[in-house]
Amino acid sequence: MLRLKSIHTYYGNIHVLKGISLHVGPGELVALIGANGAGKTTTLKTISGLIRPTKGEIDFVGVPIRGMAPNKIVRKGLSHVPEGRQVFAKMTVWENLELGGYLEKNNAVVHEAIHRVESLFPVLKKRRHQLAGTLSGGEQQMLAIGRALMGWPKLLLLDEPSLGLAPIVAHTVFQSIARLRDEGMTILLVEQNARAALHISDRAYIMETGRMIMEGPSRELLDHKQIKRAYLGKGYREVWESP
Amino acid sequence: MSDRKRENERIDTQTLEQLQLEQLQSTINRAWKHVPFYKRRFQSHGVEPAGLRAIQDIAALPFTTRQDLGDDYPYGLFAVPLRDIVRISPAPGTTAKPVVVGFTRSDLRVRNQLTARFLSAAGVGDMDVVQICLNPGLSNWARALKEGAEVVGASVMPFTMMSTAKQLMVMEDFKTSVLLTTPSYGMHLLDTMEGLGKSARDLALKTVLVVGESLKDSDRNALEMALGVKVFVGYGPSDVLGPAVAFECPEKQGLHVNEDHFLLEIVDPRNTTPLPPGREGEIVLTTLTARAFPLIRFRTGDVARILEGPCACGRTFVRISTVSGHVGNILTIRGVKTHPTQIAQILAADPKTASSRFLIHLYKENHLDMVEIWLEMTPLLFSDEVKNIEQVLKRLRKHLFQRLGLEATIRLVESLTFDLEDIGPGGVVDHR
């Protein structure tokens, strides 16, 4: 579905991505994990065309999309949910979702899509006529994801959906992402919450200062001691390790 | 073994290349970050991890040799802290230092899955009784094969020091269906059976898996005919990596390299230029998933060639021929790799033989590799009491066995012998 080969991206003179390769297969939920500043968000922005890489290849559904305008990439079926729950606060939930369906001219189809999103995130149905700004953080995040789903993209890029959410709220967001994958959606998930991301994803990549340092099935990475120490909480110890 | 692991064996070329590129890049990033040896080596070659943009770019990276493994002994090449290592696996190696490989839990899991792949390709399953007969110098492999056989659910008899007659008795009484051994031991077993008046009808063997040495077609035919079995070959460099870097499928048209875990190159051993498919050269391997002990462009010393074209079995992994020989002076004796200088070092370390010249004679007896060291009798070694000399020889034999896993006989020869031989002192005469 998506293939990146040796992508190099600069911000001015700063070499941010130093040869990133990754792939996402159809129906897969792939996590991209790393500390702050590792280049995760830059990777997503490079994929969706917001930043132009200097070197490397990006293929989406078999078509090279490197250098293509972001709106064209969206039309190819790639939806990017940026971090920070960017919903239109002064509009209702319904209107926000309608905006997500801007590519579709037929109203009936748009409404159909809204119903589909509402069945995935029932809370949005309950809040249908509320202003988005009055929603809780978790609900806003679901709205942001729901809006991106309106055109039922082939690939969904999610940037830090748990950012700034209370743990219990983050949990429900992760549950809905897992449910979305079960519905057949292909997802590339960027997360700082490595534990949760590894729990719900099929495979994962670990990034460090613009480079990939490990990749593999999430189950195996969860069991990897170096990853546990680095990303699953400071001073993480196994029960049998003395403090 | 999960279904996905099986699927990998039939992965399409494009997906495999993407997977290998990702794995190679992260392996190199990890090696650069965690293994000072690799960083030093890359820098002295003027290469940098970010420069690797395609798999073919690996040709710009420096090689790793057995000498390097010895130089950075003991922990120099480990890429993870000791607390992450769950197994430390030493082998005698081919230099003065042993080769010691570390494994994390996931490394062991991968190795076992690959061994299981080799076994499943040969049709070994949970209904089989697997008996492992490998000499002690290959005990690392014996362990790997045991664990792999456990993964496929077979009933496993791990390697046990026993006479061949007793191995045969167990094989008969427990209806062993799969024998895991070296080609030479397999042939030796045939002789022993003949001596005991036993035939294939007394045994329940259906498959023989051989590792460690190259298998001659004549030996394969002899084993298959005499035992009524199918013979499958597995390949791996015996001192590092597992016994299942490559494996034979039922088509028996070469060995499939596990390309989702190793990157294969064949290079000209003289000038290390990469060779195209079909040309015989040295096997060079790069680990793609190893966490604890990454090897980048490791020169195995084994010689083989890439076989072109798809395999009728449907597996898409590239195939190599069975190993046809070795580069340089490395000797493979009953599957164990040894360098003549290791023998020299042991002889030189003994005050009585420090100045003695020697020759290494290799020959076959009952299909087994035998080592005879021709040792020069010098005034230093000479004594008017035979038992004094015998004591020195006993000590040398013990050291050879303990350090190199070699069971050698030592023949004392006069100085004149060295002038008569074509080959210089310390040389190898291979009658095999």
Render pLDDT for B31-73 as a digit per residue (tens, 0 to 9). 999 999 999 999 999 999 989 999 999 999 999 998 898 888 8
- Domain closes at, from B274, B309, B328: B328
pLDDT at position A243, please?
A: 44
Q: Does residue B124 fall inside a structural domain? A: yes
d(CA A116, CA A121): 9
d(CA B99, CA B403): 12
Q: From the candidates A211, A222, A238, which should be mutated to test the interface with B, based on the most B CB atoms within 10 A?
A: A211
Residue B12 near chain A (CB below 8 Å):
no
B115 and B82 within one domain: yes
Which range among B100-104, B353-357, B382-386, B405-409 shows the weakest confidence by mean pLDDT?
B353-357
pLDDT at position A8, please?
A: 95
Instruction: Please compute the mean of the pLDDT values over residues A105-114 and round it to a whole number.
Output: 88
Instruction: Please compute the mean of the pLDDT values over residues A20-46 and round it to a whole number.
Output: 94
For chain A, the residue count is 243
Q: What is the ipTM of this complex?
A: 0.88
Q: From the candidates B11, B26, B86, which should be mutated to test the interface with A, based on the most A CB atoms within 10 A?
A: B26
CA of B326, closest CA in chain A: separation in Å?
34
B324 and B352 within one domain: no
Answer yes or no: do A5 and B18 touch at CB < 8 A.
yes
Nearest Cα residue in chain B from A209 = B29
CATH code of residue B177: 3.40.50.12780
Instruction: Please compute the mean of the pLDDT values over residues A193-215 and round it to a whole number.
Output: 93
pLDDT at position A241, please?
A: 45
Using a CB-CB distance cutoff of 8 angstroms, which residues of chain B are in contact with residue A22?
Answer: 22
pLDDT band of residue B324 (cuts 50, 70, 90) is: confident
B357 and B297 within one domain: no
B281 and B182 within one domain: yes
> What SS3 class is residue A183?
coil
pLDDT band of residue A207 (cuts 50, 70, 90) is: very high
How much is the mean pLDDT over chain A? 89
pLDDT at position B383, please?
A: 86
Q: Does residue B214 fall inside a structural domain? A: yes
CB contacts < 8 A, A to B, total: 73
Answer yes or no: do A21 and B25 touch at CB < 8 A.
yes
How much is the mean pLDDT over chain B? 89
Which range among A103-117, B176-190, B244-258 shows the weakest confidence by mean pLDDT?
A103-117
Q: Does residue B199 fall inside a structural domain? A: yes
Residue range of the domain that includes B98: 3-328
Judged on CB neighbours under 10 Å (0-12, 13-18, 19+), B271 is exposed
pLDDT band of residue B213 (cuts 50, 70, 90) is: confident
Q: Does residue B333 fall inside a structural domain? A: no
CA of B41, closest CA in chain A: separation in Å?
19
Q: Residue A133 pLDDT > 80, yes or no?
A: yes
Residue B65 near chain A (CB below 8 Å):
no
**Smallest Cβ distance to B106: which of A205, A215, A224?**
A224
- Domain closes at, from B291, B306, B328: B328
Question: Please, are residues B269 and B326 in contact by the beta-carbon 8 Å criterion?
Answer: no
Answer yes or no: do A213 and B29 touch at CB < 8 A.
yes
Using a CB-CB distance cutoff of 8 angstroms, which residues of chain B are in contact with residue A205?
Answer: 22
Answer yes or no: do A220 and B53 touch at CB < 8 A.
no
Using a CB-CB distance cutoff of 8 angstroms, which residues of chain A are in contact with residue B104?
Answer: 224-225
pLDDT band of residue A168 (cuts 50, 70, 90) is: confident
**Smallest Cβ distance to B29: which of A6, A211, A216?**
A211
- Domain closes at, from B307, B328, B349: B328
For B27, the token pair is 């392996």
Cis previous bond, B74, omega within 30: yes
pLDDT band of residue B382 (cuts 50, 70, 90) is: confident
CA of A231, closest CA in chain B: separation in Å?
15
For B388-403, write each residue's pLDDT tens digit: 889 999 999 998 888 7
Q: Residue B376 pLDDT > 90, yes or no?
A: no
pLDDT band of residue B330 (cuts 50, 70, 90) is: confident
B127 and B42 within one domain: yes
CATH code of residue B393: 3.30.300.30
B190 and B68 within one domain: yes
Give the sign of the dihedral formed by CA B43, CA B49, CA B50, CA B51.
positive
B121 and B242 within one domain: yes
Q: Could you count the other beta carbons within 10 Å of the beta carbon of residue A195?
A: 15
B324 and B346 within one domain: no
Which range among A79-83, A113-117, B286-290, B332-336 shows the weakest confidence by mean pLDDT?
B332-336
B191 and B84 within one domain: yes
Which range among A16-20, A235-239, B118-122 shows the weakest confidence by mean pLDDT?
A235-239
**DSSP of A97-122:** HHHHTTT---HHHHHHHHHHHHHHSH
**Smallest Cβ distance to B80: which of A206, A211, A226?**
A226
B228 and B300 within one domain: yes
Q: Does residue B298 fall inside a structural domain? A: yes
pLDDT at position B9, please?
A: 86
- B residues 306-335 closer than 8 Å to A (CB): none
Q: Residue B271 pLDDT > 50, yes or no?
A: yes
Nearest Cα residue in chain A from B104 = A224
Q: Does residue B105 fall inside a structural domain? A: yes
Instruction: Please compute the mean of the pLDDT values over residues B186-209 and round it to a whole number.
Output: 92
Q: Residue B422 pLDDT > 70, yes or no?
A: no
B152 and B14 within one domain: yes
Question: Please, are residues B365 and B432 in contact by the beta-carbon 8 Å criterion?
Answer: no
Q: Does residue B111 fall inside a structural domain? A: yes
Nearest Cα residue in chain B from A237 = B83
- Ordered by where they begin, the domains of chain A are 2-84+153-231 (3.40.50.300)
pLDDT at position A157, please?
A: 96
Nearest Cα residue in chain B from A19 = B50
Domains in chain B, number: 2
Q: From the candidates B7, B14, B53, B55, which should be mutated to test the interface with A, based on the most A CB atoms within 10 A?
A: B53
Amino acid at B91: A
Share of chain B above pLDDT 90, in %: 53
Give the sign of the dihedral formed by CA A182, CA A183, CA A187, CA A192.
negative
B399 and B296 within one domain: no
Q: Calculate the dihedral angle through the C-alpha atoms of B412, B418, B422, B423, rounding to the nearest 10 degrees.
A: 70
Residue B431 near chain A (CB below 8 Å):
no
Give the CA radius of gyration of chain A: 18
Q: Does residue B262 fall inside a structural domain? A: yes
Using a CB-CB distance cutoff of 8 angstroms, which residues of chain B are in contact with residue A15?
Answer: 50
Share of chain A above pLDDT 70, in %: 95
